[in-house]
Amino acid sequence: MTARVIYAFGEFELDIRLFELRCAGMAVGIEPQVFDVLALLLRERDRVVSKEKILDSVWGSRFVSESALTSRIKALRRAVGDDGRAQKVVRTVHGRGYQFVAPVEERGAVATGDGPSPPDGAIEAPAQEIRFCTTADGVRLAYATLGEGPPLVKAANWLSHLDYDRETSVWRHWLAELSRRFWLLRYDERGCGLSDWEVADFSFDAWVRDLEAVVDAAGLDRFVLLGISQRGPVAIAYAVRHPERVSRLVLLGAFAQGRRKRAATSDERDLADAWIEMVRVGWARPDPQYRQMFVSRFLPEGTQDEWREFDELQRRSTSSENAWRFVREFADIDVRDLAPKVTVPTLIACARQQRAGQQVRASTRARRHDP
């Protein structure tokens, strides 16, 4: 049993165990490093925390400029309704560092287990271990391992949060079932979940390099690779680059071309662009109706509770700016030239109602393997 530490200040709560900032009970999306800076300032609120200590605690051995810390402080202040002029929450002590100055109530009396208890009758996801690695371009990625058995790597698909995934019915049953037979490795991609949100490169090649970095950090030599939805193309690219490391490739609901690439008419192209623009202007709105366009696509027959859970996953997993950057890049994915080069045994699966043109077709020559 562990104590659930919650720092309350004004309308805000910082929940250390759940990696969550809430305002009036609603989750506020902030980058992991902003969360870490806020948590450190709250823990050390009785003193001024030097810039050097913040950099060492949050970035560790990574070399970063002081401007990186300044940008995180600005993002922190925006998230809690503060600014550099008012400084009602975080005070700048010039030449020294920063101090959390708002009144704080620390709530740590609630005893909990290793994770939140699922509703009655729900599947409980097993315990996991979360670690971090750094890519060649300096992006910190969070990855988690759970279960026992032969290694299975799940390429990070959009809308993931390593910690919250275990709570929601969207992913909890996946984690429980896969970890019963496999040692499951999964990670939050750049710009998502517990990984760095403020990143410059959102390209397809960067996503492939992220998969390479996580696998190398985990010390895996050979493994089964699972690619779901937008990460099917990433899994294909990895399998083509590293066939000696992929024992089996599984593609679920994947596609070879993004919405703009497979648009056959000007109307289809306009619809793809409209979809991307809707994300840009509607993702951050308090009204969930814009984000529910995604919910309706992923969970067309879901209950109201499931829709609410999925929308909460969307809110927690990334920012509105990153959501727009994600869907813009997804729309231009094209692995038609790569898919025929896959040589590892491959299983392709999709839902019966999946729209034509979205899945990777058998004509790619990907091979089905026997169990």
Inside any domain, residue 115:
no
Beta carbons of 217 and 135 less than 8 angstroms apart: no
Inside any domain, residue 119:
no
Say whether both 98 and 171 belong to one domain: no
| Cβ atoms within 10 Å, residue 279 | 20
Looking at 72, 107, 142, the residue that finishes a domain is: 107
Inside any domain, residue 101:
yes
Residue 89 has pLDDT above 70, yes or no: yes
Say whether both 204 and 340 belong to one domain: yes
Say whether both 79 and 171 belong to one domain: no
Instruction: State both tokens at 68.
Output: 């990186």
Residue 234 has pLDDT above 80, yes or no: yes
Residue 218 has pLDDT above 80, yes or no: yes
| pTM of the predicted protein model | 0.69
Say whether both 330 and 236 belong to one domain: yes
CATH of the domain at 27: 1.10.10.10
Say whether both 235 and 344 belong to one domain: yes
Q: Computed from CA positions of residues 215, 216, 217, 218, in that sequence, does the dihedral angle turn out positive or negative? A: positive
- Three-state DSSP class for 18? coil
Say whether both 85 and 145 belong to one domain: no
Residue 114 has pLDDT above 70, yes or no: no
DSSP-assigned beta bridge partners for residue 153: 185, 225
Say whether both 46 and 92 belong to one domain: yes
In which band, very low, low, confident or very high, does the pLDDT at 108 lie, cut at 50, 70 and 90?
A: low
Inside any domain, residue 113:
no
CA distance 312 to 168: 9
CATH of the domain at 261: 3.40.50.1820
| pLDDT 10s digits, 243-288 | 999 999 999 989 999 989 988 899 988 988 888 888 887 776 766 6
Inside any domain, residue 44:
yes
Residue 116 has pLDDT above 50, yes or no: no
Looking at 77, 107, 137, the residue that finishes a domain is: 107
| pLDDT 10s digits, 26-71 | 888 888 889 889 998 998 888 899 988 888 888 775 667 788 889 8
Inside any domain, residue 341:
yes
Looking up tokens 């506020």 gives 28
| Phi, psi (rounded to 5 degrees) for 335 | -120, 25
Integer CA distances (angstroms), 53 to 5, 15, 138, 194, 274, in order: 22, 22, 20, 21, 45
| pLDDT 10s digits, 159-175 | 888 888 887 877 888 88
Q: In the prediction, which pLDDT does 316 show?
A: 81
CA distance 188 to 159: 9
Average pLDDT value for residue range 10-29: 86
In which band, very low, low, confident or very high, does the pLDDT at 125 lie, cut at 50, 70 and 90?
A: low
Q: Considering the chain, what is the average pLDDT of its residues?
A: 83
Beta carbons of 98 and 77 less than 8 angstroms apart: no
Q: How many residues does the structure list for the chain?
A: 371
Residue 101 has pLDDT above 90, yes or no: yes
Instruction: State both tokens at 44.
Output: 């050390």
Identify which of 317, 344, 366 has the alpha carbon closest to the alpha carbon of residue 156.
317
Inside any domain, residue 296:
yes
Which residues span the domain enclosing 258? 129-364
CA dihedral 307, 309, 313, 315 (to 10 degrees): 80
CA distance 252 to 352: 12
Inside any domain, residue 120:
no
CA distance 345 to 275: 35
